Amino acid sequence: MNYKVLVLSLVVLNLSLQAAAQKVKRKGTTPNQVNNPANKKEPAAQYVISQLNGKWQEVKRVSKSGKEPVEFSDSLLMHIEDDKVSLKDATSMRMSMKGEAAIEAPNLLVVAGDMYTIRSLDKTTLIIEDDEFTREMQQKELYYYETLGKLKVATDSVSGPANIDIKNLKGKWLVYARKAEPGATNEQTALIKSIEITAVSDDGIAFGQASFYTKDITKSSACQVVTQNGALKIVTDQYIWNFYVYKADGKEFVFGEVGKLVYYSKQ
């Protein structure tokens, strides 16, 4: 093969490779049709953070995996003031988280880095959801622990044992005062802080959670409550209390034993 033939062969080979390259499309080289971000409508926020100003206390909790309420003692307490929030739970009153509060469209509540989906909101009730639970929050003027020692005990609260409808005990009853006679309690006495009744059976037995303390150590335990002819029995796995009911009208629950120890509680 002479020199001219060699050059001609190389030119023909180069033209063939260029033609083949033009027929092959490389991945990612074809431009995709991109929507103009300016024309894309962002979802509108369904709420504004000012709607949540105030104090909110968790009163009900339901597992996302089921429909039945779950027992809990660590009630979420949330105080929102404009774009600021303070979070704490009922088992650690002195510990709180503070941070920013905001609404992210369309219905995401962001408080101190925690995120909840808002399911519904009205003037007094807020339903929020996280990865584990659906929580019902109620707006309060004061948290229950802020009322301790401030609520006055009605002088006519105790007159005598009352035969009550046990269904009036449904809800969470927070003890705001105790009237104990000298010697009625000591360091070993288990004092009740709250009783939450979540269900009442057809045969008149109530079920729920009792919170109590001894020597400044607070514990919580599942409980059963039975009342008959003014007598009241509260049963947990650690303690059994035998009391009398003096008032249970759905607003106030007064129980104990006159002359020894009487509890005054509200929801």
Q: Which comes out higher in pLDDT, residue 151 or 26?
A: 151
Residue 169 and residue 262 in one domain: yes
Residue 137 and residue 181 in one domain: no
pLDDT at 212 over 70: yes
Residue 242 and residue 191 in one domain: yes
Which amino acid does the sequence have at 68?
E
pLDDT at 8 over 90: no
> 266, 265, 264, 262: which is closest to 185 by C-alpha?
262
pLDDT digits (tens, 9 = 90+) for 155-209: 455 678 988 999 999 999 988 888 888 888 888 889 999 999 999 998 889 999 9
Residue 185 and residue 115 in one domain: no
pLDDT at 52 over 90: yes
pLDDT at 245 over 70: yes
Whether 43 maps to a domain, the answer reads no
Residue 173 and residue 246 in one domain: yes
**Read out DSSP for 190-224?**
-EEEEEEEEEE-TTS-EEEEEEEEETTEEEEEEEE
Number of separate domains in the chain? 2
Residue 88 and residue 139 in one domain: yes
pLDDT at 27 over 60: no
Whether 17 maps to a domain, the answer reads no
Residue 162 and residue 112 in one domain: no
Token pair recorded at residue 202: 């057809």
Q: State the CATH number of the domain containing residue 106.
A: 2.40.128.280
Q: Could you write out the three-class secondary structure of 41-59? A: CCCCCCCCHHHHCEEEEEE
Q: For residue 229, how far is the Cα from the chain centroid? A: 36
Sequence-distant (≥ 6) Cβ neighbours of residue 84 within 8 angstroms: 98, 99, 100, 101
Domain span at residue 109? 49-145
Q: Which pLDDT value is given to residue 134?
A: 93
Residue 152 and residue 262 in one domain: yes
Q: Which comes out higher in pLDDT, residue 147 or 202?
A: 202
Its sign, for the CA torsion 194, 121, 108, 110, is negative
Whether 209 maps to a domain, the answer reads yes
Residue 140 and residue 182 in one domain: no
